[in-house]
Structure 1
Amino acid sequence: MAGNISKHFYQAVANKTCADFHHPGKTCLQAVQESAVAGLFGSLKFYLPLCILPLLFKIKQWNEKKTWKEFLINYCRCVFSGFFITTTGFWVFCMSYKIFKGFYLPLSVCLPSSLGAVFCGIMPKKFVHIDGIGLFNMYIEFIIKQSKQKSIVWLRNSLVGATCLYSFFNSVMIYYLYKIRSNRFWFVNIGNELKAIKRIENDSGENIMNCGHETSCDEYLKKEFKNISLFAFGVSLFKLIFPRLSSIIKNPGNFMKNIFKKFDYGLLAFLIVSNGLFKFTFCRLNQYGKFSRDVNCLIAAFASSIGYVFYPRYIIFTMGITSIIEVLYKYIEHTYVTQNKELPEIMKFINRLPCSELLYMFSIGMTFQLRVIYPHLTNKFVHKMMSIGSGGRSDEVTKNYFKMMVGW
């Protein structure tokens, strides 16, 4: 299906102009001006929940001015970045048509968005990094969905197969995070396990449990399970409320009636089971097992992978692929540093590159092209992100392309 659509692209856009594709009945200047206004308001709306989310992890710091100052600065940087990305992208869209005298893939759809994304440098580095990887994962999702290879098709339709492969990703990810003592984001949080290791390594003769925590295993696990449950509930509630914020304000009664139907119980179960199983297994193995802590971590990580069956989503699966590449690179780098060895020239070169920015530019360009040409195979988040961020302009481009495809 995907191949058929792209094959007819040139036939559909023959003798068409940027006005037909982007701004019917308006000049390029008028379209860019409207895109600028829509991009500003769209960015204000889109980045607000993304900047609020980190605040949920800093509730104890809400009484500090520094917390709110950081939030405001990050929000403004994201808004201005989104404004320039949207405005520049649509401007380059029209310019590319005039320069090349027609539409060509990927120059006409992917390239304008990628060039507009140069302004991602205005955003905080962590936002660029997270967004870039997230969008790239959605590109991988598209590849999986449209692939006709038998192994990929089988994996796409087999929960057992996908869970087994995710188990590999999850186990490797947690194991190497533990090895390099990194509390980098992952679906299973190992922060307290790393603190426990520090207590053991720096034991000053105090009565510390075999597992590294300062209380009994039962007390520790009860406390952890409570924290995990509260965190999982908070994330699930955030996912439920923020996409529907405007409708909740308009009609709160209707939202309350359907809150239990729309609540994502799968995400809740995934986070609780994954984190709960890891912490329980890791603690018991350290207490009663005969293996090293590294091996215990690997076994516990594998056991925690069963949580995937409660929330078998592409975004979880694809994040495992990209995260492994990143954490293995960090492990290799960590190994050289701890052994006081000089990094290979290729790694020095990679470290000098603005990898996060380049990945963001590539990913946003590709996802916009997929949004326009392959909407049925594109992650729903991409639809929402580009619709909100562009003030509905990306929806119009997609509709205009569809009209050209069917000959309207």
Structure 2
Amino acid sequence: MSAISKHWSELTAGVDCATLSHPGKTCHSHILFQLRTTVWGNMQFFIPVSILRLFLLIYTQKSVSWHIVRQTLFEFSCMVANGWVVSNSWSACFCAFYHWFGRIINNYSVSMAALPGTLVMFWMPQYVQMSHARAVFNVFVECWIKSRNHPWMEYARESKTIGTVVFMLISATIGYYAQRTKAVEFWFFAPLKKNSNDHSKTPCFHRNTCQSYILDGMKTCFTFGMILELARKLIASAPRIRRHPPALLGAISRIRFKFVAFLTLYNGLFRFVTCFLAQHRRKVSSYDSTVAGLISGLSYSLSPNFNVFSLAMTAMIQNIWNYISEQYGGLDLVKRFNRLSFTSIAWVLLMNYNMYSRAYYPYAMSKYALKFTDVCSNSQARTASECLAKLFLAAN
């Protein structure tokens, strides 16, 4: 498929926007149709996401309140609005580019058509900015790795051993920097620090016994993993469940229990190693979290997958940046970077790359990314990708 971009001019000579984007419809009718139908498409995708968000807020705050419900509804509305704008920006601008320039301009007509819509992210609430930026970064990492054709890259992405070793190193890096920063980033383990419990009577810095501390962490990760898997299945199976409700049982039966086991063991190993090291020497070392992160990373071999791998890379980069900000925050360069909305900038750049990938590398994209672009665009992304593929096959 990458050959399409190399021979774009020959392939698209005399081709109009209708051929690639909306066969059998005029631009006007197509855009009006998209404006109406993408509202439900985005709601359908983000309802399970918001339900997961609501459960996590209730779980972390140990209470149910109108404030939590209102916050979730507001964030849900923002996510739907953002997805609706991005999707329709692509549909409208793809046609607009063709009419303005009289032709479809290389791959920029595909990758840049959503740009005006992606800028809306700068006005979204913090949670939406952060969650969407991380999601699209994960999509980018997975697609980039899967689409590389170098022999060593092909071997590395198929090797469970290499994947596990690299994940262990990333996990160790997360443990190293998370221990040395005040900011708390979401990850599946969190190093305990002395100021988090000044009254601890154990060298491990936790209030209860080591056994309780380890089991509590494993229970939390097990619960989170099950909720995450259930939400993933609901998102993937929502259209089928709506037509045939009993399909929900089939979706639940396909939950990745190995993934849940990985999260549970990952957190349990991290806590066990940190407690063992602290109890062994009767004091905590600043490198305990690094060692624990490395050893607990072995559990990745239970359920190696790109989602966890890319999420780990995101957590590692964020923790490194937090460390730089706290240690060197007085430098003018760091101050200037901190004033920028990195999450929104990442979303703008990578979401447009996502559109490019949907056209040229659909085989390399995750199922989540394909589901997101197709459901939220009312299958516009799939239609455009299929039309482009047919054009390429017809030319060959």
Shared fold (TM-score, shorter chain, > 0.5): yes
Q: Secondary structure at the match of 1:391?
A: coil
Note the C-alpha offset of 1:299.
Answer: 0.9
Q: How does 1:59-208 map to 2 (within 5 A)?
A: 59=58, 63-186=64-187, 188-190=188-190, 193-194=192-193, 197-199=194-196, 202-203=198-199, 208=201
Q: How does 1:194-273 map to 2 (within 5 A)?
A: 194=193, 197-199=194-196, 202-203=198-199, 208-248=201-241, 250-256=243-249, 259-260=252-253, 262-273=254-265
Would you say 1:392 and 2:379 are equivalent positions?
Answer: yes
Deviations 1:5-48 (A, max 9, x none): 33233322111011111122322221211111122121211222
Rate the CA distance shift 1:147–1:258 in 2: closer, same or farther, 3 A.
closer
Q: Secondary structure at the match of 1:58?
A: helix
One-letter amino acid of the structure 2 residue matched with residue 145 of structure 1 = K
How many Å separate the matches in 1 of 2:156 and 2:32?
46
How many Å separate the matches in 2 of 1:12 and 1:402?
11
Rate the CA distance shift 1:222–1:132 in 2: closer, same or farther, 3 A.
closer
Q: Between Structure 1 and Structure 2, how many residues are aligned? A: 393
Moved more, 244-253 or 132-141: 244-253
How many Å separate the matches in 1 of 2:286 and 2:171?
15
2:324 is matched with 332
How many Å separate the matches in 1 of 2:251 and 2:150?
41
How many Å separate the matches in 1 of 2:321 and 2:52?
28
Structure 1 runs (4+) deviating above 6 angstroms are none
Deviations 1:258-310 (A, max 9, x none): 743x1202211210111110011111111113774321111111111012112
Contact 1:221 1:279 in 2 (8 A): yes
Would you say 1:301 and 2:272 are equivalent positions?
Answer: no
How many Å separate the matches in 2 of 1:16 and 1:399?
15
Note the C-alpha offset of 1:150.
Answer: 3.6
Say which of 277, 288, 293 aligns to 2:269. Answer: 277
2:312 is matched with 320
Contact 2:16 2:103 in 1 (8 A): yes
How many Å separate the matches in 2 of 1:254 and 1:85?
31
Moved more, 31-40 or 318-327: 318-327
Deviations 1:237-258 (A, max 9, x none): 3323342244345444454367
Unaligned segments of structure 1, at least 5 residues: none
Contact 2:185 2:318 in 1 (8 A): no
Contact 1:170 1:302 in 2 (8 A): yes
Give the TM-score normalised by the residue count of structure 2: 0.91
Contact 2:50 2:76 in 1 (8 A): yes
Q: Secondary structure at the match of 2:309?
A: helix
How many Å separate the matches in 2 of 1:62 and 1:11?
61
Contact 1:183 1:189 in 2 (8 A): no
Contact 1:81 1:121 in 2 (8 A): no
Note the C-alpha offset of 1:118.
Answer: 1.3
Would you say 1:361 and 2:348 are equivalent positions?
Answer: yes
How many Å separate the matches in 2 of 1:42 and 1:122?
22
Q: Secondary structure at the match of 2:104?
A: coil
Unaligned segments of structure 2, at least 5 residues: none
Moved more, 55-64 or 74-83: 55-64
How many Å separate the matches in 1 of 2:250 and 2:46?
28
Contact 1:115 1:361 in 2 (8 A): no
